[in-house]
Amino acid sequence: MSYVLEIKNVTKKFGDFTAVKSVSFNVEDGGFFSILGGSGCGKTTLLRMISGFENVTEGELLIRGESMEGIPPERRPVNIVFQNLALFPMMNVEKNVAFGLQRQKLPKNEVNSRVTEMLERVGLIGFEKKKVTELSGGQRQRVAIARSLVLRPSILLLDEPLGALDRKLREHMKIELKVLQREIGTTFIYITHDQSEALVMSDYVAVMNEGQFEQIDTPKNLYKNPATSFVAGFVGESNEFNITSYADGELTTDNGCKLVKPGLDYQPKKLFIRPEAFILDSPETLPDVALINTRIKNILFDGANTKLSVVVKESADEMLISLPQNAKFDNLHDGDDLQVGIHQDDLKCYQN
Amino acid sequence: MKKRSGTFYLLMVPVLLWLGLLIVIPHLDMVYRSFRFETDDWEMVFSLNNYLTFFQDQIYWLTFVKTALYSIGVTFLAFVVTFPVAFYLTKVVGKKYSSFMTLLLLIPIWIGELVTVYGWMILLRDNGVINTFLMNIGIIKEPIEMLFTNFSMTIGLLYMSMLFMIVPMMSALDSLDDSLIEAASDLGASKWTIFRKIIIPYTTPGIVSGGIIVFMLVIGDYVAPNILGGKSSLWFTEQIYNKFLMSFNWNEGAAFGFLLLGLSSGIVWVALKLSGQKLEKVGS
């Protein structure tokens, strides 16, 4: 397998502050790779190093096997879609898309045919002469992507380009971007703080925290088997517990649950359980399922995302349980007692 | 249309008085005078003779052409000199220093044109600062004649008008998002291309609006051409001044004044057409 991008122990320092701490990863050609992290985690700095706007303090950055050291942004085979899109307001759609091709001094008819081909691909035929200020948010998005893709870069970098869109359009663009990436086959590296964007679109997601990668994995694995407590808490929703004691495969949490989790070869400190992992009204006969007695404090109605806020008996700490919206559970009320089950594989324990 | 209240009209009074008394009425009087002509029989008649003088007597329109060309030149120089400064202040230094430095730029305006012009005389005259310095370090033997030439006049005009170029240009550059420059660079543009294709087109409204102010100030200036230009540098405003105060021919002076207004407006109009700008857009 050839790697389009190889990052080897890359570190970036701004004065005393280390924004990116010795990060290493490889991106396969033709994939959709996301870097997910909260604001200030260093993901934008990493992106700017790949595009060439920031120097690498230490380490090595290779694109298609070639070192990018000392190569300025205009000569790198990567293009970037900026967070605010950065379309040129004094040019129309066509000129925006043609800008990069004209810089390569290509013959005029080739420029025109490639621009038309790209506009067709993103569905902007008929908008060639429109000013970019007259377009809707989604159309502007597509111009920005077309402007970069028309140069046929090895990698397309996207810096949270969906952030400014409203919710409906964002959901739509997510799917559109994924489809576009599949069709064109260009490697996309997508920076975002929105986990749903990362999970829906990506082949691989890297979760970044304080300048380091916590885990690089497929979206499904990231969700099912978080490698660290940060990932478990950051990706998806989770109930977090502190573990007070662990012995002989039995653990006790600070809110008094006694649960069985055999085979840990370390002393766990933190326990994460996803809201949807709880089995409501669990039959007592299921294997490897521990039962917890709870009382319902609140029903937080949110359509398909409706949650129960419950307290474990004899404790004040609340935890969230997903409540499927079907006839079976329609008669639950605040204050009801509820027995829930949890399979031992859904108990995610961490050392710190 | 909304019905206006009495307060609205009351508040309009100062504006209308100002426009009427100080601008409209004197101008109407001047228009009237510019068409009055004294015949050989000392009779006042309506005539176009005052305007014809301008075209018939070579010295007048040659002076005007020179004034116009120099004004265009000074405007261009003002752009060349101030653009790097404006770029530096808005894009290179941080916000903190930029406002302080802009303040420093404004100081010459507080002093007034006359004083700064005399300041330039001290620098440029034969035994002035520049000549003395150059002779002391041995680059020249004889002082270079700089004062009372077109050179010294150009410097004076440039110095007094430069700031009016910088301010609109800075506000245009300020609104230019840095990511546009980065995007252009990412798409393969060299520094020169970014300047030519992104920065200049983006700031054109600011450049044109600054250019109009500078051009109008320079073409209508009297102090710098008169004091720094000396006898050899004729400026059209001096011709108008001479008509009014030397030959006491107010009628011809008024006609020349309107010719200056008309011709300079014409040049501004051509400049707007050439740069593809609209006056409303530039004015805002």
Per-residue pLDDT tens for B56-87?
888 888 999 999 999 999 999 999 999 999 99
A151 touches chain B (CB under 8 A): yes
Give yes or no for residue B280 having a pLDDT over 80.
Answer: no
Q: Which chain A residues contact residue B199 at CB under 8 A?
A: none
Question: What residues in A contact B187, CB-CB < 8 Å?
Answer: 74, 79, 99-100, 103, 147-148, 151
More confident residue, B234 or A86: A86
Query: What's the confidence (pLDDT) of residue A118?
Result: 92
User: Is it the case that residue A223 has pLDDT exceeding 70?
Assistant: yes
Q: By the 8 A CB rule, do A173 and A138 touch?
A: yes
Question: Taking 80 as the threshold, does the pLDDT of residue B50 lie above it?
Answer: yes
A43: domain CATH number is 3.40.50.300
Partner-chain contact A88 B183, CB within 8 Å: yes
Note whether B186 contacts A: Cβ–Cβ < 8 A.
yes
Interface contact A73-B186, CB threshold 8 A? yes
Q: How far apart are CA B185 and CA B191, in angstroms?
A: 8
Place of tokens 């990060």: A23
Q: Do B186 and A88 touch (CB under 8 A)?
A: no
Are A254 and A214 contained in the same domain? no
The mean pLDDT value for A43-51 works out to 93
Task: Give residues with Cβ within 8 angstroms of A156, minimum separation 6.
Answer: A78, A79, A80, A81, A145, A148, A149, A186, A187, A188, A189
CA of A90 vs chain B CAs: smallest distance (Å): 7
Of residues A72, A79, A83, nearest to B187 (C-beta): A79
* Among A209, A233, A257, residue at a domain's last position: A233
Residue at which a domain ends, from A233, A248, A280: A233
Per the CB < 8 Å rule, is A86 touching B190? no
**Is A211 in the same domain as A256?**
no
Same domain, A141 and A181: yes
Q: B89 and B229 in contact (C-beta within 8 Å)? A: no
Helix (H, G, I), strand (E, B), or coil: what is residue B146? Answer: coil
Residue A247 has what pLDDT? 83
Q: Collect all residues with Cβ–Cβ distance below 8 Å to B265 and sequence separation of at least 6.
A: none
| A193 & A281 share domain | no
At residue B1, the pLDDT reads 56
Which residue is closest to A86 within chain B, CA to CA? Answer: B180
**Which residue of chain A comes nearest to B182, CA vs CA?**
A53
Does B189 sit within 8 Å of A99, measured CB to CB?
Answer: yes
Task: Select from A79, A83, A89 the Cβ nearest to the Cβ of B186.
Answer: A79
In chain B, where the domains are located: 51-283
B187 at A interface, C-beta within 8 A: yes
pLDDT digits (tens, 9 = 90+) for B19-49: 999 999 999 999 998 898 888 888 888 888 8
Are A17 and A155 members of one domain? yes
The range of the structural domain enclosing residue A104 comes to 3-233
Tell me which of 1.10.357.10, 1.10.10.10, 3.30.300.30, 1.10.3720.10 is the CATH number of domain B51-283: 1.10.3720.10
Pick from A298, A330, A89, A41: nearest CA to A191: A41
> Which of A233, A253, A271 is the last residue before a domain boundary?
A233
Residue A144: C-alpha distances to residues A207, A278, B191 (Å):
26, 44, 21
At residue A1 the predicted structure's pLDDT band, cuts being 50, 70 and 90, is low
3-state secondary structure of B3: coil
Are A225 and A267 in the same domain? no
Name, of A71-85, A253-267, A320-334, B131-145, the range with top average pLDDT: A71-85
User: Model confidence over A135-176: pLDDT tens digits?
Assistant: 988 899 999 999 999 999 999 999 988 887 888 888 888 998
Is the CB of B189 less than 8 angstroms away from the CB of A147?
no
Q: Are residues A143 and A290 both part of a single domain?
A: no
CATH number of the domain encompassing residue A250? 2.40.50.140
Residue carrying structure tokens 């790697």: A3
Residues A313 and A180 in one domain: no
Report the residue from B177, B186, B201 with minimal CB separation from A84: B177
pLDDT value at position B283?
60
pLDDT band per the 50, 70, 90 thresholds, residue A102: very high
Q: Is the CB of residue B200 less than 8 Å away from at least one CB of chain A? A: no
- Is B41 an interface residue toward A (CB < 8 Å)? no
CB contact under 8 A, A99 and B184: yes
In chain A, the number of structural domains is 2
* Percent of chain A whose pLDDT exceeds 90: 50
Calculate mean pLDDT across residues A20-39.
92
User: Is the per-residue pLDDT at B230 higher than 70?
Assistant: yes
Average pLDDT over chain A, rounded to an integer: 89
What pLDDT, in 10s, does the model give residues A272-299? 999 999 988 777 778 888 888 888 888 8
- What is the reported pLDDT for A332? 85
B193 lies within 8 A of chain A by CB: yes
Do A296 and A221 sit in the same domain of this protein?
no
A114-127 pLDDT, tens digit per residue, is 999 999 988 889 99
Integer Rg of chain B from CA: 23
Question: What gap in Å lies between CA B44 and CA A41, rounded to an integer?
Answer: 85
Residues 71-100 of A with CB under 8 A from B: 72-75, 78-80, 82-84, 86-90, 99-100
In this structure, the answer to whether residues A219 and A258 fall within a common structural domain is no
The continuous run of DSSP H or E covering B129 comes out as helix B129-136
A225 and A80 inside one domain? yes
- Say whether both A248 and A125 belong to one domain: no
Predicted pLDDT of residue A284: 74
Residue B282's pLDDT is 67
Rounded distance between C-alpha atoms, residue B89 and residue B82, angstroms:
10
